[in-house]
Amino acid sequence: MTNERSRTVARSGWPAILARGALLGLTAIGCASVPGRDAGAAEETLRFTPPPGWRQVHAVERDGLAVRHLIPPGQGSDDWRDMITVQVLRTALPPPLEGLYARALAGYQAHCPDARGGGLQQGRSNGYATGFWVLGCPENTRTGRGETAFFKATLGEQAVYVMQRVWRTAPFEPETEADIDADSRRQAIDMLKAAQVCLPGSTAHPCR
């Protein structure tokens, strides 16, 4: 981990924040080579600051896809209520943000007939096309719990990066909101907004 400061600019209605502390470099989770990329070329890095005490409980790497799951202190991998998921797909042909949104919504609807999604907000973060959206499931048929997730997707030059901040709650009515306090929502937005993809040596996508 490296101590440094990361400043982000508000776009698509997201608030600007100043995040301080240890930034977690996740370059290694997408170690598969990108078709057409020169050997030895600089590799993109996703940097974000996990909440204090959160730990990784699961990791998958295969076919250019890397996934990490993090949960907070006091929660287990089987009974978690809060989770951060980071996915990195190394590809030279990334899907559009609209496609990522549609795929995420379809995944929720597969196990939640009343799943719904907020609109896709699009902007740019550190020079990359970026999208933000919210999905909600009043009652997941597999878990019997309600579920809400904030998503941030970034289309890099070498990979697609998708982060989720997920809450499991008591089931809720389809036309109401899950029982998630305002401070937790704000912290999630701040974390996702501060997360950035960067490319060492690039002026368009600098690693600050």
Query: Domain boundaries in the chain?
Result: 2-198
For CA atoms 94, 97, 98, 101, give the dihedral sign. positive
Q: Is the pLDDT at 30 greater than 60, yes or no?
A: no
Q: For 108, which DSSP code? A: H
Structure tokens at 136: 């909600």
| 78: region left, alpha or beta (phi > 0 left; psi from -120 to 50 alpha) | alpha
**Does residue 149 contact residue 164 with C-beta atoms inside 8 Å?**
yes
Give CA–CA dist 136/166, Å, rounded.
Answer: 10
Give CA–CA dist 153/88, Å, rounded.
Answer: 10
**Position with higher pLDDT, 24 vs 144:** 144
**Adjacent-strand bridge partners of 148:** 136, 167
Q: Is the pLDDT at 12 greater than 70, yes or no?
A: no
Question: What's residue 93's pLDDT?
Answer: 84
Helix/strand/coil (H/E/C) assignment for every residue in 75-142:
CCCCCCCEEEEEEEEECCCCCCHHHHHHHHHHHHHCCCCCCEECCCEEEEECCEEEEEEEEEECCCCC
Q: Is the pLDDT at 184 greater than 90, yes or no?
A: yes
pLDDT digits (tens, 9 = 90+) for 83-121: 999 999 998 788 999 999 999 999 999 999 899 998 999
Instruction: Give the closest residue to 198 by CA, choosing from 207, 190, 189.
Output: 207
- pTM comes to 0.80
Give CA–CA dist 146/86, Å, rounded.
Answer: 21
pLDDT digits (tens, 9 = 90+) for 140-160: 999 999 999 999 999 999 999
Question: Which CATH fold would you assign to the domain 2-198?
Answer: Protein Transport Mog1p; Chain A (3.40.1000)
